[in-house]
Chains A and B, each alone.
Chain A
Amino acid sequence: MGFSFKKLAQGLLKTKENIVSKLKTAVGLHKKIDAALLDEIEEILISADISVETTGKVVDDLKVRVAKQGIDNSDEVYGLLKDSLTELFSFQSGDRSFFEVVPKPYVIMIVGVNGTGKTTSIAKIARRFMSDGKKVTMAAADTFRAAAIDQLSIWANRVGCNIVKGQEGGDSASVAFDAVAAALARGDDLVIIDTAGRLHTKLNLMEELSKVKRVIKKAMPDAPHRTLLVIDGTTGQNALQQVEIFNKLLQLDGIIITKLDGTAKGGAVFSIVDKFKLPVVLIGIGEQMDDLDEFNPRDFVDAMFA
């Protein structure tokens, strides 16, 4: 059911300090909501890694709200800005929990550029499903990076789930295929596929991912049921390019944003949903196992402004 509000607010503490303390200063300097204050708000949003484009949209929306409600007292800008930011997520219906999964096995494929935290996220997701009493198989389809298979194996061991692995340098698609086939045979509830990190600009490596996806379908025609892109929360404007290209090739179902603790600005959360209308399904706000959980837009924005 997502993070408790307290935990979320705590995890986002630094991000919050970035946006809200700056906002407070700005509001302190301007009594009325005027062009100067809006300019400052624009800057504050951009400085949180929200894209220039999305920032423009949010500020425009804010202007409309100000005019419509006839407000000019700068103190009220918080509430309005919260609404404008939350509005970006209006397409994201919170219909079903990420952790309710049918059919069986439910296949999740995890992709992303190097170093975003794919493997660690997979461990956290697996542990969560395990504690819900589900049977999980991990697929170590990152056959490229040195010791990536060992890394996932250690996690599988700690979490206590199944793992299917191949040889380093082997064919990642066949590892994914074997994992799905094994899970089908065993009657597992879930398969989570780890893939090698790759920059979205490497066409041949991206093509390999499409192949993994195609081959999975041979084991189970409607799989993968979710293809999720992991984005590092400290990434700047390049996050949008990553989403664009991964989405074009793999038709993503959603985004996981990691490393939102620390002083990460997390603006990517807003830019991505605005530009691609792709749901953010999970966010990571710390290094502990339960620091990755469902994303709820309203809570997220509230926690930022709390």
Chain B
Amino acid sequence: MFDSLSEKLEKAFKTLRGQGKLTEDNVRESVKDVRRALLDADVNFKVVKQFIAGVEEKAYGQETLRSVAPSEQIVKIIHDELVDILGGQNAPIEFRGTPGKLLLCGLQGSGKTTLAGKIALHYQKKGQRPLMVAADIYRPAAVKQLQVLGKQIDVPVFHVDKKPPQICAEAIEYARANNLTLIIFDTAGRLHIDEELMQELSDIKKKVSPDEILLVADSMTGQDAVNVAAQFNETLDFTGVALTKLDGDSRGGAALSIRHITGKPIKLVSVGEKLSDLELFYPERMASRILGMGDIVSLVEKAQETIDVKEAVKLEKKLRKEAFTFDDFYQQLQQLKKMGSLESILKMIPGVSSQLRNVDIDESQMKRVEAIILSMTMEERNRPQVLNGSRRARIADGSGTSIQEVNRLIKQFQQMQKMIKQMRGGKLKRMIPGNFFN
């Protein structure tokens, strides 16, 4: 749908390299793209304005660096500024006493109840004994929903047939009596302009004085995020934000808007359908996401976790001297597979995620490639030139594929060998055997 911001800036800055300083003109040119990227990411337009003004000021007069393109330099300035606003360090959830008390609030459909279950599970794993409190008496079956979740994770749920502030107050007694260490209050979704229901939240706060009040915000929220956050903050002076549905493809500009308007940290992010899909908030990653730069940090981390460095060095050395064989390719596939599904890996690469939406990645294709390679003899893997017609037919039979597929793989492999030859001399690290799966 949109090019990544860095791509756009690269285009705008092609001629600029080595021109000395970032000037008003060239900064303004790129800032237009930044503005659009931020708006596309649902950052509130007022926040965008202020943000851009700050970036311009920082950018003017900076020396262009020889080693990086000016576009990259500006993206870096913007990225750093975003990280700064989003909160620098991640902010922990803190409980002052026992039982700890955490109150969830937000609009309808933002994901409070599911989040309550996720938080309970998270702390249960850490050895706490959580209690969930069903204080949503309006939505049909909301209490039941929390009870079902409680059953799934074996966490008790408290509910009595009373008004929400009373339910919450009695829950504290219940927790004390039953020696529970953490209380999570799930409240009904409400509009921030609904005075009566906002008053109810404020009453709950008075009754239970929570250690943490989290505004639960849907990461897909648009420009209105600022009004919602401002109003909830005015009523409740919440302590932090939980962003939900971040496993979608929204760019999550609401995070920036909320943070900017309220100054409150984002403490948790919810990233999936499973109750274990809860993460801490990393400003760095969010900044990259808002800018459409992909989640390079997570990708690199994942790669570091799973890729055997020694193996990689060995391969690189080998490639410098000799040919890339089917055996090497197979090893590469195994490393790649350890990192997760191809889809999830590709999504982290800048610029790929938006295009990827239109591509169905067929993981079974990868299995077929593996099967073909495994049906080759060692000699064939190391010296693909011996692969004549009858050998190919045998491999197709052995791997349960067709001769056409075997031929295609061999052809693509030869192209890749050629590319590696051309690239010998520095760019090896960028190789990803991705074009095999198109």
Contacts and interface: CB of A to CB of B under 8 A. Distances in A.
Interface in A204-238: 232, 234-238
Interface stretch (A44-52, A102-110, A124-132): A44-52
Interface string B187-218: 00001110000000000000000000000001
A117 B46 CA distance: 29
Interface stretch (B249-257, B327-335, B372-380): B249-257
Interface in A253-278: 259, 261-265, 267-268
Nearest to A123: B140
B276 interface: no
Given A49-B224, A150-B140, A241 B249 contact: yes
B107 A234 contact: yes
Contacts of B75: none
Contacts of B113: 146
B403 to A, nearest CB: 30
Contacts of A43: 45
Interface stretch (A25-33, A83-91, A172-180, A195-203): A195-203
A47 B218 contact: no
Given A117-B108, A168-B148, A238-B42, A263 B227 contact: yes
Nearest to B347: A201
Contacts, number: 141
Given A151-B141, A236-B221, A262 B152 contact: no
Contact of A154 (B41, B141, B222, B227): B141
Interface of B is mostly: loop
B42 A114 contact: no
A155 B192 contact: no
Interface residues of A, number: 47
Contact of B39 (A46, A148, A234, A235): A46
B40 interface: yes
B145 A199 contact: no
Contact of A237 (B42, B108, B145, B228): B42
A160 interface: no
Could you say which of B152, B249, B343 has the most chain A C-beta atoms within 10 Å of its C-beta?
Answer: B249
A151 B109 contact: no
Contact of B220 (A203, A235, A244): A235
Contacts of A161: none
Interface string B413-436: 000000000000000000000000
Given A232-B220, A236-B42, A236-B253, 19 more contacts: A43-B45, A115-B110, A115-B218, A146-B149, A146-B152, A147-B145, A151-B144, A154-B141, A199-B245, A201-B357, A202-B273, A203-B343, A234-B228, A235-B221, A238-B249, A261-B191, A262-B192, A263-B193, A264-B224
Interface of B: 1, 36, 39-42, 44-46, 107-111, 113, 139-142, 144-149, 152, 191-193, 218, 220-225, 227-228, 245, 247-251, 253-254, 273, 343, 357, 360
9 contacts: A114-B109, A146-B149, A199-B245, A234-B107, A236-B221, A237-B250, A259-B109, A262-B193, A263-B193
Interface of A: 14, 43, 46-49, 52, 113-117, 144-148, 150-151, 153-155, 168, 199-203, 232, 234-241, 244-245, 259, 261-265, 267-268
